[in-house]
Structure 1
Amino acid sequence: MNVIEKIEHWGDTHHPRWLDILRIALGIVIFLKGVTFLSNTESLRRLIEETHIQIYTWGAVHYVAFSHLVGGILIAIGLLTRVAIGFQLPILFGAVFFVNITQGLSFLNSELWISIVILMLLIVFFVVGSGPYSLDHQMRQRKGY
């Protein structure tokens, strides 16, 4: 059993059911954030440009919006949860350490605190997995794993 299989096994055996409700809510929040990014791509473009990181801005805008839309749905229904979270982690690291931190570490910067909470939840669900109320769990049961 390699390290990834050990982490998955530990996450599957130590997963309280209330955590699934939190995972579903997290997926919905990420999906809604993707919808707001799609409805106002100009503000997302400005946010990315303010970081002064040399990246293709419109490519980053489309990556963020698409990852939030698809990843939010996948996280909410519990399908390929760890993969979907893997696509979300770079976005949230960038949001916490490059975008929102430039506006200061104050209690008034609510976007920073929301980004930190979502980043922490993504890391938790990356470790513990999708849980018993997910499509991943249903598919494993049908295959007999």
Structure 2
Amino acid sequence: MGRIKSLNKWANTHTNYPIDILRIALGSFLFIKGIDFMGNTQVIMEFIKPIQSMLGGMLVISYIAPAHFIGGLLIVFGLLTRWAVFAQLPILIGAIIINFVGEMDTMNLIITMLVFLLCLFFLFYGSGRHSIDKYLKMQQ
């Protein structure tokens, strides 16, 4: 009986690893996209070309790359995860709209929808058990 209790206790403490790995993968993807957008501003200009008349072009470019770069780092470490995800949502909604207004790229749409759904999940779920947010909360 003691063996079953110890296995159950181990399972309860280690069940959040897949969710933490998913959070780290999402943050890494956003971080890499941020680096990519910083190096290739023409890519962002091509993406926002269909709606450039509605938005300030430089304002959008100045927001997208740093939001992905810094937000991705914060999500990887689990620090201010909900705020970092909340900063990603307008970018992802804009990317979904651009796919329907401009030239339809199915692969970009699928990736954007997947990242959007993951961001919505972490907006409600939070950082997870193995994060800096949880560590700082336990130190209080």
TM-score normalized with structure 2 length? 0.84
- Does structure 1 residue 112 correspond to structure 2 residue 130? no
Deviation string 1:43-82 (CA, Å, 9 cap, x unpaired) is 2022112224511101100100010000000001000000
Please show how residues 123-142 of structure 1 align to structure 2 within 5 Å. 123-142=120-139
RMSD: 1.4
Unpaired runs of 5+ in structure 1?
1-14
Which structure is higher in helix share?
2
The answer to whether the Cα contact below 8 Å between 1:27 and 1:75 also exists between their aligned partners in 2 is yes
Unpaired runs of 5+ in structure 2?
1-14
Deviation string 1:81-105 (CA, Å, 9 cap, x unpaired) is 0000110001001111x2222333x
Structure-1 residue corresponding to 2:99: 100
Deviation string 1:22-46 (CA, Å, 9 cap, x unpaired) is 0000000001011111111012022
Paired letter, 1:121 = L
- The alpha-carbon distance between structure 1 residues 134 and 53, as it changes in their structure 2 partners (threshold 3 A), is farther
- Does structure 1 residue 66 correspond to structure 2 residue 63? no
Paired letter, 1:100 = N
The answer to whether the Cα contact below 8 Å between 1:45 and 1:58 also exists between their aligned partners in 2 is no
Structure-1 residue corresponding to 2:29: 29
Distance, in Å, in 2 between the alignment partners of 1:100 and 1:53 is 16
Identity of matched residues, %: 36
Large movers: runs of 4+ above 3 Å = none
TM-score normalized with structure 1 length? 0.81
In our comparison, the structure showing a higher alpha carbon Rg is 2
> Aligned to 1:112, what secondary structure does the other structure show?
helix
